[in-house]
């Protein structure tokens, strides 16, 4: 598929960038939405890429394994502090950083005690 300019999503009021299905979308310098067939990777993932992807998938799985009440506590943090991050973004930050001191400061400001993810393994 050759590069193709499309206005379909613009009419719907949707901003698309990146891969969607087998198509890659981006906005050109002329502010036009451009679509082309997604290019397959030329090399297999490196061991470092595999390790990093594993951490991200572990963090997502840990989020899914929270109970509804635990997840709601993280959502309350987002609402109380009016952060420009979603509850899930804050969860990912803490899962990756394990910065207990900063999280305790955030908890104090919000007046909440947040459930912690399991120890990284």
22-79: pLDDT as tens digits: 888 888 878 788 888 888 889 999 999 999 999 999 999 999 999 999 999 999 988 8
pLDDT exceeds 90 at position 120:
no
Q: Which residues pair with residue 5 across a beta bridge?
A: 34
Strand order in the sheet with 33-37: 4-6, 33-37, 23-27, 18-20
Q: Which residues pair with residue 35 across a beta bridge?
A: 4, 25
- Specify the DSSP element, H or E, that contains 1: none
Q: Which residue has the higher pLDDT, 69 or 11?
A: 69
Mean per-residue pLDDT, 83-96: 90
Q: Which residue has the higher pLDDT, 15 or 37?
A: 37
Q: Is the pTM of this model over 0.75?
A: no
Mean per-residue pLDDT, 82-97: 90
Going by pLDDT thresholds of 50, 70 and 90, the confidence category of residue 9 is low
Question: Three-state DSSP class for 84?
Answer: coil
Q: Which two tokens stand for residue 90?
A: 């804050």
User: 85 to each of 33, 71, 88, 91, how far by Cα in Å?
Assistant: 27, 15, 8, 10
Residue 112: alpha-carbon gap to chain centroid: 23
């Amino acid at each position: 598929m050759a590069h193709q300019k499309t206005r379909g999503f613009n009419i719907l009021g949707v901003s698309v960038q990146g891969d969607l299905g087998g198509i890659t979308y981006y906005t050109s310098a002329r502010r036009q939405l451009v679509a082309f067939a997604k290019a397959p990777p030329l090399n297999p993932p490196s061991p470092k890429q595999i390790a990093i992807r594993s951490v991200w998938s572990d963090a997502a799985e840990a989020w899914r394994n929270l109970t509804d009440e635990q997840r709601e506590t993280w959502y309350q943090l987002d609402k109380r502090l009016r952060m420009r991050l979603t509850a899930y973004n804050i969860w990912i930050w803490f899962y990756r950083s394990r910065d207990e001191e900063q999280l305790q400061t955030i908890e104090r400001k919000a007046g909440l005690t947040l459930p912690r993810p399991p120890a990284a393994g």
